[in-house]
Amino acid sequence: MIIVVHFLLIKQNLRFDFLTNAMIQDITTKDRKQFHVNVLGYKNITFEHFTVSAPDESPNTDGIHIGRSDGVNVLNAEIKTGDDCVSIGDGSKNLVSNGVTCGPGHGTSIGSLELFKNEEPVDGVTVKNCTFTNTSNGVRIKTWPGAEPGTCSNIHFEDITATNVSSPIIIDQKYCPRNKCKINEESKVKLRNISFKNIHGTSALPEAVKIICSATLPCENVELADIEITHSGPTGPVVSQCSNVKPKVSGKQNPAPCSAPIPAKPTSAA
């Protein structure tokens, strides 16, 4: 069964649950107080030509949030919001985000993961041909310290353009907004098989690459290939910060991988 939905303007947030083999196209959603689109329990679904618009200082206004779904494609979307443009929650498998333009917003995020019990693994996510402009993050994985165990694997970010992005590349296993976490404990989420390839542009802050992994479960098989990011501000050249990871590197690298190692500290950015 193929379902095609066309809307010119949606004045309420949308929830799609437990659909199979569907295409949903040409939707615009504006100025919601929370998630614009929430997706749960999908299998083999394509979202195409979505437009999302919300003020850049509106919290929890994720553009498209996906959880516990298999085979979701987000194609050629334009998202301007005050939170994650695309957020990928637990139980997401075989997901592709291709051709998404994001900004303002918090970028594309996997997580936050394992705050709650019985969260499901994330496996097989590809984010490619995406553009981030004036966002707080570009591509990000975030997990809570001292929370529940879990896994996140086979994640690929490629062909990404960042313009004036505060954190273009970030793995944050000390994710702790508003200090609502066990700050002295490590994340119990195992991250493995993560690649960042052909990512270029400008960082609003010197710390363009942050790979902060769990000391208890270090990141495994992280790859950096052809990274070219410069600093768009006056405070010095870009640097790369790493903790509990030994990335594989190839091609051009700017900043130099792990050129400014730092102790992993809890973070507060949403």
- How far the first Cα of the chain sits from its last, in Å, is 38
Pick from 243, 194, 196: nearest CA to 222: 194
Among residues 36, 62, 84, 106, the one annotated as catalytic is 106
**CA distance linking residue 257 with residue 260, whole number of Å:** 8
Which of 164, 225, 163, 217 minimizes the C-alpha distance to 194? 225
Question: Measured between alpha carbons, how far is 245 from 13 in angstroms, rounded to an integer?
Answer: 39
The distance from CA 4 to its chain's CA centroid, rounded to whole angstroms, is 27
CB 101 within 8 A of CB 124: no
Phi, psi angle pair for 259, to nearest 5°: -75, -15
Residue 219's Cβ-count burial label (10 Å; 0-12, 13-18, 19+) is buried
Please indicate whether residue 106 is annotated as part of the active site.
yes
The reply to whether 17 belongs to the active site is: no
Catalytic residue (one of 83, 84, 90, 172): 83
Residue 101 CA, chain-centre distance (Å), reads 13
* CA nearest neighbour of 82 among 30, 26, 131, 14: 30
CB atoms within 10 A of CB 252: 11
> Which residues are identified as catalytic?
83, 106
